[in-house]
């Protein structure tokens, strides 16, 4: 990265197939924002169409504080090193943010499914991320939230502790309960 000593804001949309809206909004928001001294690394993803990548490169052409990367085979070290992550709320990216206990702004896709929106809302309610609903005011909302998110302390240990990450154990308990109930019913 060309960040030098500047803190990094990592912007990612997983594979990138539907992330252009977020990256374009981020570039406009970051240009309007009052925050300075940050280096932005935008990972467009291998699935982003070439014309959309070209449009982002044109937006960032004269900016020495922005670096566009087509893809990385291992996003985790970049995510862990970032000061802030701006991402969609895909399952893998959200899981990596949680595992790294990283401060983040999630901007879920609006369609065709609601799973990203539900995930972003739940994680926001728990206090481990901030989120913005996509829409016509996304650039304005992102420009307002970026300086807040970079200057705020990271999520507290208590917030992270509120996440129940023992899903496999809970599923096993429920399966045992179901099978136990069936055995009792059959007897």
The 10s digit of each residue's pLDDT in 29-39 is: 998 887 888 99
3-state percent breakdown (helix, strand, coil) of the chain, nearest 5? 50, 10, 40
pLDDT of res. 182: 63
Q: Is the per-residue pLDDT at 3 higher than 80?
A: no
pLDDT of res. 144: 95
Written as six digits, the tokens of 86 are 């701006």
71-106, pLDDT tens digit by residue? 888 888 999 999 999 999 999 999 999 999 999 999
Determine the average pLDDT of the residues in 156-180.
83
pLDDT of res. 161: 85
The whole-chain average pLDDT of the chain stands at: 89
pLDDT of res. 184: 64
Contacts by 151-155 with C-beta closer than 8 Å and gap 24+? 151/35, 152/103, 154/101, 154/102, 154/103, 155/101, 155/103, 155/127, 155/128, 155/129
* Cα-Cα-Cα-Cα dihedral sign, residues 58, 131, 145, 84: negative
How many whole angstroms separate alpha carbon 50 and alpha carbon 135?
Answer: 24
Q: Is the per-residue pLDDT at 112 higher than 80?
A: no
């Amino acid at each position: 990265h060309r960040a030098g000593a500047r803190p990094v804001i990592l912007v990612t949309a997983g594979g990138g197939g539907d992330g252009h809206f977020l990256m374009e909004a981020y570039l406009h928001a970051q240009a309007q924002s009052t925050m300075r001294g940050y280096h932005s690394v935008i990972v467009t993803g291998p699935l982003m169409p070439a014309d959309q990548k070209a449009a982002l490169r044109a937006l960032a052409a004269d900016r020495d504080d922005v670096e566009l990367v087509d893809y990385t085979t291992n996003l985790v070290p970049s995510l862990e090193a970032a000061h802030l992550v701006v991402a969609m709320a895909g399952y893998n990216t959200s899981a990596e943010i949680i595992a790294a206990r990283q401060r983040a702004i999630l901007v879920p896709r609006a369609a065709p499914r609601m799973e990203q929106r539900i995930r972003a809302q739940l994680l926001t309610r728990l206090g481990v991320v901030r989120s913005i609903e996509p829409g016509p005011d996304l650039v304005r909302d992102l420009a307002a939230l970026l300086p807040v998110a970079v200057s705020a302390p990271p999520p507290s240990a208590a917030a992270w502790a509120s996440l129940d990450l023992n899903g496999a154990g809970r599923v096993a308990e429920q399966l045992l309960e179901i099978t136990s109930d069936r055995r009792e019913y059959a007897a």
